[in-house]
C-alpha cells in the first residue's frame, strides 16, 4: 500500500508539471479509487470491479477502467497484477453466461432477477451486447502489448474465446439458431425487446446480432455497426495472439480458422449493408442495420461508437470513410449531437435530451488530428463538472450543473486516457 501511495504521488507531480494540478489530482484519484475503492479481491484471487455507483461489474466498463492503468506502465507497477486479476474475473464471467453484460461478485441474486430470460443468481443483468464480449478480449490484448504477458492466453482465455466465437456464429442467424430471449416489464421500452423478447427482425447478412447497444439500450435494427466493427478487430487479433501463445489441444487450429472465417463474414456484411452513400460527406457508416434495408443514421456516446473506430483499431484517423462518418457524427445531422453554451458533443438516448457525454468528448479529442483539441477538451471536461469534483456520465449542454451519475468510473477513465495522451504516456496498441 505504501509503495502504491508513493507511485501515485510521483505520478501526480509528473502530470501536474506537464498539464496542471487539477488534472493531476483527478487522474491520481481515479487510479487510487480503481485499485482500492471500486475493487474487491475474491477468494480465487480475481478482482471484482464496480463500475462506480452501481454495485455490479460490467464487462465493458471494468475493461475501460483498467485500460488507462495499463497505459501508465512503469509509473504504476501495481497495475499489472491488478489488470490480470480483473481479466481473470471477466473470463470467469463469460464462462458463467456469455449472454450477460453485468455480474454479481457471487451467486447472491442481486440485480434484475425478475427479467424474463435465462437468469442466474451470479448475473446482475442479462442484456446481451456484442461489445461486452469484445472488451475482455481487447483487455487481454492490451495486457500483452503493455506488459509482454503471454501467460494471460491460457486455457481459460482460449475457452472464453471459443464461447465467444460460438455465440457470435449462432447470432449470425438469430431468427433460426438463437435461444436468447429478454423481456423487462414495468420499464422503458429501451430496457426490453419487442416480439416477445426476440428483438427486431433481421436477415442473415454475415453480421452478428446484438440485443442491446453499448449504452444498454435496445437495438432498433439488430445489427449494431460499431459493435460488429469491434468484433472484427478482436477476431483479427487472434491469429497474432495464436502465434505467440497457440490455443491448446487438437482443435486449436480449427478455432483460429473459425475466428478468421467469422471476421471475414462480418467485414463482408459491413461493406454490403452498413455503408451509406451520402452526397454531403461521401460514403459513411450507419449506426445500425437489419439486412432488409432498415438503417439508423446516428451515433451514440457509448464506446464502441462510430466516432471511436480509430481507438478500437478498426481504422486510421485519416481513413476517408471514417472522416466522412466523423463529419456526420459531429454535426446536428446526428440526432444525438447537441450544441450548447457549455459544451457541444455527442449524447445518448440513455440520458435526458441535450445531455452531452464526457466519454464522447474525450473520444472526439483522442481521434482528432489536431493535437490542440486534446488540451481544449481537457479544459472543457474540467469546466463542466457542475460544481462537483467528478466527471459525470452526462451533463446538460447549457447547464452543466444538471448531470447524471454521481460516480461513473468509465467517464473518469476516458478523462484519464486523454490526460495521459497529452502527457506522452505511450499507447500499448502502438507498441
Q: How far apart are CA 229 and CA 78, in angstroms?
A: 32
- Judged by phi (left if over 0) then psi (alpha if -120 to 50, else beta), residue 97 lies in beta
DSSP string, 192-261: S-HHHHT-S-----SS---SB-TTSPBPSSSEEHHHHHHHHHHHHHHHHHHHHSPPSSTTHHHHHHHHHH
Grid cell 461478485 is found at 105
pLDDT for res 116: 97
Strand partners, 52: 408
Q: Which domains does the chain have, with CATH numbers?
A: 41-304 (1.50.10.10)
Q: Tell me how crowded residue 391 is: count the other CB atoms within 10 A of its CB.
A: 28
List, run by run, the mean pLDDT of 10-residue segments along the chain (431 residues).
89 98 98 98 98 96 98 97 98 98 98 98 98 98 98 98 98 98 95 94 98 98 98 98 95 96 98 98 98 98 98 97 98 98 98 98 97 97 97 98 97 98 88 47
Q: CA 274 → CA 199, 270, 309, distances in Å?
A: 19, 5, 14
pLDDT for res 3: 85
Hey, what's the cell of 210?
446484438
Q: Is the dihedral of CA 56, 390, 187, 127 positive or negative?
A: negative
Q: How many residues does the chain have?
A: 431
Specify the pTM.
Answer: 0.98
Q: How far apart are CA 376 and CA 119, in angstroms?
A: 45
Strand partners, 58: 102
Q: Tell me how crowded residue 17 is: count the other CB atoms within 10 A of its CB.
A: 11
Grid cell 443514421 is found at 297
Amino acid at each position: 500500500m505504501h509503495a502504491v501511495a508513493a507511485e501515485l504521488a510521483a505520478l501526480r507531480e509528473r502530470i501536474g508539471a506537464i498539464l496542471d494540478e487539477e488534472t493531476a489530482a483527478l487522474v491520481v484519484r481515479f487510479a487510487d479509487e480503481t485499485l482500492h475503492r471500486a475493487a474487491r479481491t475474491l477468494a480465487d484471487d480475481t478482482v471484482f470491479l464496480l463500475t462506480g455507483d452501481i454495485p455490479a461489474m460490467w464487462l465493458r466498463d471494468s475493461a475501460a477502467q483498467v485500460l488507462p492503468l495499463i497505459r501508465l506502465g512503469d509509473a504504476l507497477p501495481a497495475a499489472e497484477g491488478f489488470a490480470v486479476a480483473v481479466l481473470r474475473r471477466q473470463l470467469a464471467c463469460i464462462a458463467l453466461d456469455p449472454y450477460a453484460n453485468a455480474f454479481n461478485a457471487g451467486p447472491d441474486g442481486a440485480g434484475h432477477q425478475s427479467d424474463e430470460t435465462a437468469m442466474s443468481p451470479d448475473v446482475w443483468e442479462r442484456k446481451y451486447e456484442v461489445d461486452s464480449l469484445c472488451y475482455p478480449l481487447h483487455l487481454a490484448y492490451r495486457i500483452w502489448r503493455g506488459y509482454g504477458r503471454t501467460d494471460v492466453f491460457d486455457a481459460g482465455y482460449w475457452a472464453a474465446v471459443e464461447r465467444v466465437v460460438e455465440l457470435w456464429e449462432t447470432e449470425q442467424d438469430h431468427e433460426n439458431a438463437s435461444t436468447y430471449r429478454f423481456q423487462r416489464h414495468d420499464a422503458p421500452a429501451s430496457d426490453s425487446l419487442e416480439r416477445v423478447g426476440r428483438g427486431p427482425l433481421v436477415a442473415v447478412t454475415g453480421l452478428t446480432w446484438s440485443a442491446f447497444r453499448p449504452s444498454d439500450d435496445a437495438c432498433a435494427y439488430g445489427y449494431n455497426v460499431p459493435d460488429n466493427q469491434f468484433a472484427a478487430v478482436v477476431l483479427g487479433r487472434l491469429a497474432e495472439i495464436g502465434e505467440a501463445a497457440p490455443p491448446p489441444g487438437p482443435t486449436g487450429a480449427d478455432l483460429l480458422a473459425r475466428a478468421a472465417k467469422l471476421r471475414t463474414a462480418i467485414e463482408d456484411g459491413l461493406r454490403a449493408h452498413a455503408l451509406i452513400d451520402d452526397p454531403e460527406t461521401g460514403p459513411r457508416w450507419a449506426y445500425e442495420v437489419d439486412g432488409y434495408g432498415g438503417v439508423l443514421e446516428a451515433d451514440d456516446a457509448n464506446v464502441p461508437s462510430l466516432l471511436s473506430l480509430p481507438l478500437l483499431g478498426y481504422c486510421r484517423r485519416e481513413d476517408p470513410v471514417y472522416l466522412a462518418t466523423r463529419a456526420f457524427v459531429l454535426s446536428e445531422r446526428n440526432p444525438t449531437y447537441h450544441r450548447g453554451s457549455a459544451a457541444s458533443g455527442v449524447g445518448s438516448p440513455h440520458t435526458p435530451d441535450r445531455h452531452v457525454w464526457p466519454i464522447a468528448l474525450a473520444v472526439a479529442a483522442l481521434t482528432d488530428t489536431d493535437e490542440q483539441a486534446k488540451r481544449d477538451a481537457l479544459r472543457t471536461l474540467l469546466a463542466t463538472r457542475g460544481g462537483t469534483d467528478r466527471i459525470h456520465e452526462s451533463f446538460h449542454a447549457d447547464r452543466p450543473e444538471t448531470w447524471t451519475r454521481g460516480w461513473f468510473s468509465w467517464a473518469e477513465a476516458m478523462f484519464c486516457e486523454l490526460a495521459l495522451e497529452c502527457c506522452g504516456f505511450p499507447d500499448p496498441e502502438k507498441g
